[in-house]
Amino acid sequence: MKAVVVHGIRDVRVDEVPDPVPGEGQVLLAVEWGGICGSDISYWRHGGTGTAALRHPMILGHEIAGRVAGLGPGVAGVEIGQPMTAHPAELVGEHAFPEGRSNVHPHVRYFGSAAFDPHTDGGFSEYRVVPVEQLRALPDGVSTQVGALAEPLGVALHAVTRAGSLRGRTVLVNGAGPIGALVVASAKHRGASAVVAADLAATSLDVAKRMGADETRDLSTHSLPDDVDLAFEASGAPAAIGPVLRATRRGGTVVQVGNLPGEPAPAALGDLVTREITWVGSYRFVDEITDALTALRDGLDVTPLITHTYPLDQAAEALAVAADRTTGSSKVMLQLGT
């Protein structure tokens, strides 16, 4: 089968790799669509992401959906041809973690991750073997293209959940990339009365507007609003933290969903204390991918996020477009099969 394999910095190839065979408790998924994430871009651009460094060639991709093509021994309740997405996290070993927060388990194998050696191959391939407990059935009316976005929507819904009730609250989302735009949609879905999206890129702000933002702020010409009840910092830029804290009302909450650097970086944090702001981290998700599928079934529209689609054989071009914000890209999708 064909697979999108990163071999090193700026070196991604469409390779022929062996067809996978499902084992005990596993399902063979014929993958139809995959969404390119910032971590996929980072492996291609830098040879790693966060503390995970590429040591060997690895299949990229953790935002996927397709149809069941085969069943391993012991699998029941799954039908050939059934449309599915996958929860990409597998907990490894017995470790203590706070109840209901498996996302902070210290050892997780995640699709398309170099955190372990050997690495965990992702799903940007024509087929992927998936443990049956990691599969999630797509609801009626949710296509496999949209279903591939359940994973990043789960990230956004987890961030919104970390903030508590949004009903009737004024919300700022700083950073309108794919996750930021999905936070906009999730906040509106959870009852926020007004959502302001802020970014430097006009095209990203346009996507955020179509995803439900009531107001957009172009930070190249305007400043952040004042005294919002709740802010989501989705850019991951340390320099943005100070202005976001200042934009949040005294006693308010900031949820950090943008992935911050793993090395020291300057940030203005004085307002965290003097305005007594609650600063909350948000990492991946627990099982909000299931909540995401329910939201998609109930009409949450994520299609404005999809700006570009490419066939499998053009994966290198797709990554380059996804990495370059001047292209107007938001979520770039790979068609991996039909």
Contact 8, 55 (CB under 8 A): no
User: Is the pTM higher than 0.85?
Assistant: yes
Position 140 pLDDT exceeds 80: yes
Average pLDDT, the chain: 96
Alpha carbons 307 and 36: distance in angstroms, whole number = 12
- pLDDT, residue 106, reads 78
Contact 75, 26 (CB under 8 A): yes
Alpha carbons 119 and 52: distance in angstroms, whole number = 10
Alpha carbons 98 and 100: distance in angstroms, whole number = 6
Alpha carbons 305 and 149: distance in angstroms, whole number = 9
Q: What is the mean pLDDT of the segment spanning 87-105?
A: 82
158-188 pLDDT per residue, tens: 999 999 999 999 999 999 999 999 999 999 9
Contact 247, 207 (CB under 8 A): no
- What 3-state class would DSSP assign to 317? helix
- pLDDT, residue 65, reads 98
Q: At what angle do helices 202-210 and 178-189 cross, to 10 degrees?
A: 30
CATH for the 154-281 domain, from 3.10.450.50, 3.40.50.720, 3.30.70.580, 1.10.101.10: 3.40.50.720
Contact 1, 17 (CB under 8 A): yes
Position 104 pLDDT exceeds 90: no
Domain boundaries, the chain: 2-149+302-335, 154-281
Q: Which helix (H) or strand (E) holds 34?
A: strand 26-35
Residue with tokens 């009409």: 299
Q: Return the biggest CA–CA distance within the chain.
A: 60
- pLDDT, residue 100, reads 79
Position 58 pLDDT exceeds 90: yes
Residue with tokens 């995959």: 34
Select the more confidently predicted residue: 121 or 93. 121
Alpha carbons 221 and 70: distance in angstroms, whole number = 54
- pLDDT, residue 96, reads 72
Q: What is the mean pLDDT of the segment spanning 265-271?
A: 94
Same fold, 2-149+302-335 and 154-281: no
8-36 pLDDT per residue, tens: 999 999 999 999 999 999 999 999 999 99
**CA 53 from centre of chain:** 19
Q: What is the mean pLDDT of the segment spanning 79-89?
A: 97
Select the more confidently predicted residue: 264 or 136. 136
Nearest to 334 by CA among 114, 102, 145, 154: 145
* CATH class, 2-149+302-335 region: alpha beta
Percent of the chain with pLDDT over 70: 100
- pLDDT, residue 206, reads 98
Task: Report the amino acid identity of residue 158.
Answer: H
| Strand partners for 215 | 196
DSSP string, 144-178: HHHHTTHHHHHHHHHHHHHT---TT-EEEEE--SH
Alpha carbons 111 and 314: distance in angstroms, whole number = 21
- What 3-state class would DSSP assign to 235? coil
Q: Which helix (H) or strand (E) holds 297?
A: helix 288-297
- What 3-state class would DSSP assign to 104? helix
Percent of the chain with pLDDT over 90: 92
Per the document, the length of the chain is 338
Alpha carbons 265 and 229: distance in angstroms, whole number = 27
183-206: b or e for each residue (b if 16 or more CB lie within 10 Å)?
Answer: bbbbbbbbebebbbbbbbbebbbb
Position 107 pLDDT exceeds 90: no
Residues 6+ apart with CB under 8 A from 318: 36, 308, 310, 332, 334
Give yes or no for a cis peptide into 118 (omega within 30° of 0).
yes
